[in-house]
């Protein structure tokens, strides 16, 4: 027995859904999931079914013969017309015969012979074939005085009777030309999280909007539109820290010496070329000095550009497994969450996920500990040593930290973040993920414990290598490098804003 999913487009008539269920039942298929909501799309139904491979073929054939099984996503054209029709019996019927002949689906029709324009009919049509538009217009021009009010082939003006088709066309615009089969599977995954979130009281429109905004924001902030906020901090005479905050997602850090440079996290794959150009501008020769990278965890905004660098990538075995199974909840108590699994698929797709290829796995934890955390390894950067600490799995299974008590630096990944000093744009982008997974932490209670433990270490860690600083630097996965003042994180030093294509200026 195998589980598979398919999308059906059923007529909006009594009993049509019953017919589909009958075919599935006839071949002893078991329906594991079904979702249909007229408020979203009055025709599209999503199924997940368990059956034998032979039964699957028979079910597909039966649904195909009914005209229910959706195997392609044909682009639709939207056409809005104003047509002057004669005030005679049968005139409307004659007009509708023309639209039916070209298989046009009427989305809106408006006619009132007692209105201000008693002979004017306004109609909106969805047509599968662009050639059908020309054919229809040619027929109508010979019979009626008319005006084309709107004509669109992008899908933006389609109404909600074809909502999922319109949504698929929007996705295709974000990821490029894709096979219909791939998009249909993706639609099924998206529908699954919509179903789950609706059951939790979420507005489905917010879900769809958050998905598209995630992809659009990433697409619209790369290349010429790329910008960043940068901090450059001397940690010692021979060690320089660079923090790069890209438009969206996690920070990229450099620990740079005259002989070698280590990267901590990579940002999204979609920003890889932009970040490489910025590094060359900020630290000439640093790209050539890159010797290794440390991946704190498996989220796409922290490891998704790793494959663009031909250097070893040190990571926890759990991080490699999350990348392998493409489910950010792997290894946690929320591992079976459909929200986490589908979100991982979507964000990897939108962000052009390209994880590290040259992977070096950390050894299992030994008995050595630093406060609440196991020490997994020690890494030398120039003349300075950093401890690699194993996280507790609050944000993500396999998350690790870098810490140096001697220098006074803690790389806290996504457990401790200076949320209060994120820019408005970055804060809004981060909210989109929360809309789709409800919490970015796979274990929120454990994440709170972890954050408390890190802040305890930060409070008791001095910063002796920098005369003007007496507090430990907190290098969070998002937001500026900060210091802890009482209970608040405050940005340390100058934060320089690099606008698209422009010179830096203090923020």
Structural domain boundaries in the chain? 2-66, 77-152, 162-219, 223-506
pLDDT at 421: 96
**CATH code for residues 2-66:** 3.30.70.260
Contact 396, 442 (CB under 8 A): yes
Residues 191/199, Cβ–Cβ less than 8 Å: no
pLDDT confidence tier of residue 467, bands split at 50, 70 and 90:
very low
* Greater pLDDT, 37 or 413: 413
238-259 exposure pattern, b = at least 16 Cβ within 10 A, e = fewer:
ebbbbbbbbbbbbbbbbbbbee
Q: In this structure, which topology does domain 77-152 adopt according to CATH?
A: Alpha-Beta Plaits (3.30.70)
Query: Could you check whether 2-66 and 77-152 share the same CATH topology?
Result: yes
Closest among 397, 318, 393, 415 to 359, alpha carbons compared: 318
Tell me what pLDDT residue 193 has.
94
Output the CA angle 336-357-352, nearest 5 degrees.
Answer: 65
Q: What is the mean pLDDT of residues 255-282?
A: 96
User: How would DSSP label each residue in 174-195?
Assistant: HH-S--HHHHHHHHHHHHHHHH
Task: Please report the pLDDT score of residue 232 as a whole number.
Answer: 96
pLDDT of the residue at 41: 86
Question: Is pLDDT at 477 greater than 50 in this prediction?
Answer: yes
* pLDDT above 70 for 53: yes
The domain 223-506 is classified under which CATH number: 3.30.300.90, 3.60.15.10, 1.10.10.10, 3.30.1490.20? 3.60.15.10
Which phi-psi region, left, alpha or beta, contains residue 352 (left: φ > 0; alpha: ψ -120 to 50)? left
Summarize the confidence of residues 316-344 as an average pLDDT. 95
| Tokens, residue 212 | 């598209």
Distance (Å, whole) CA 428 – CA 171: 20
CA nearest neighbour of 196 among 406, 437, 448? 437
Give the model's confidence band at 119: pLDDT under 50 very low, under 70 low, under 90 confident, else very high.
confident
Residues 406-413: what's their mean pLDDT?
A: 95
| Confidence band for 166, pLDDT divided at 50, 70 and 90 | confident
Q: What is the pLDDT of residue 173?
A: 86
Instruction: Report the mean per-residue pLDDT for the chain.
Output: 91
In this predicted structure, what is the pLDDT of residue 161? 59
Query: 118 versus 274: which is more confidently predicted?
Result: 274
> What pLDDT digit, counting tens, does each position of 332-351 carry?
998 999 999 999 999 999 99
pLDDT at residue 74 above 90? no
Answer yes or no: are the C-beta atoms of 362 and 376 closer than 8 Å. yes
* pLDDT for position 401: 98
d(CA 212, CA 223): 19
């Amino acid at each position: 027995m195998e589980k598979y999913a398919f999308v059906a487009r059923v007529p909006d008539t009594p009993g049509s859904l019953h017919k589909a269920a009958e075919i599935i039942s006839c071949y002893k298929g078991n329906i594991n999931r079904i979702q249909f909501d007229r408020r979203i799309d009055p025709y599209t139904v999503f199924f997940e079914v368990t059956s034998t491979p032979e039964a699957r073929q028979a079910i597909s054939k039966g649904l195909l013969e009914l005209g229910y099984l959706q195997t392609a996503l044909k682009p639709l054209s939207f056409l809005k017309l104003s047509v002057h029709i004669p005030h005679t019996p049968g005139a409307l019927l004659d007009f509708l015969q023309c639209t039916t002949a070209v298989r046009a689906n009427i989305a809106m029709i408006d006619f009132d012979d007692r209105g201000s324009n008693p002979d004017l009919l306004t109609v909106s049509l969805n047509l599968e074939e662009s050639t059908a538009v020309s054919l229809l217009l040619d027929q109508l021009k010979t019979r009626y005085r008319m005006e084309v009010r709107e004509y669109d082939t992008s899908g933006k003006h389609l109404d909600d009777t074809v909502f999922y088709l319109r949504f698929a066309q929007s996705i295709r615009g974000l990821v490029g030309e894709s096979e219909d089969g791939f998009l249909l599977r993706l639609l099924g995954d998206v529908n699954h999280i919509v179903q789950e979130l609706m059951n939790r009281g979420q507005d489905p429109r917010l879900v769809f909007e958050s998905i598209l905004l995630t992809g659009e924001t990433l697409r619209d902030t790369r290349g010429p539109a790329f910008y960043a906020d940068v901090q450059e901090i001397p940690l010692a005479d021979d060690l320089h820290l660079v923090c790069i905050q890209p438009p969206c997602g996690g920070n990229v850090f450099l620990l740079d010496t005259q002989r070698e440079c280590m990267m901590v996290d990579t940002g999204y794959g979609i920003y890889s070329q932009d970040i490489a150009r910025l590094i060359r501008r900020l630290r000439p020769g640093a790209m050539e000095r890159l010797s290794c990278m440390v991946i704190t965890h498996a989220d796409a905004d922290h490891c998704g550009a790793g494959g663009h660098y031909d250097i070893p990538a040190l990571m926890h075995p759990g991080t490699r497994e999350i990348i392998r199974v493409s489910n950010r909840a792997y290894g946690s108590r929320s591992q079976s969450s459909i929200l986490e699994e589908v979100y991982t698929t979507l964000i990897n797709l939108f962000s052009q996920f390209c994880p590290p290829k040259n992977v070096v796995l950390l050894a299992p934890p030994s008995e050595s500990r630093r406060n609440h955390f196991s020490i997994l390894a020690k890494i030398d950067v120039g003349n300075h040593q950093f401890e690699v600490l194993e996280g507790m799995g609050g944000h993500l299974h396999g998350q690790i930290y870098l810490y140096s008590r001697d220098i006074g630096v803690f790389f806290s990944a996504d457990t401790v973040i200076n949320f209060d000093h994120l820019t408005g744009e970055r804060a809004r982008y981060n909210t989109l993920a929360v809309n789709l997974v409800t919490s970015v932490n796979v274990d929120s209670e454990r994440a709170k414990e972890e954050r408390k433990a890190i802040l305890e270490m930060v409070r008791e860690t001095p910063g002796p290598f920098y005369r003007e600083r007496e507090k430990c630097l907190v290098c969070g996965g998002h937001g500026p490098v900060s210091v802890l003042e009482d209970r608040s994180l405050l940005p340390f030093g100058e934060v320089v804003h690099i606008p698209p294509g422009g010179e830096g200026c203090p923020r």
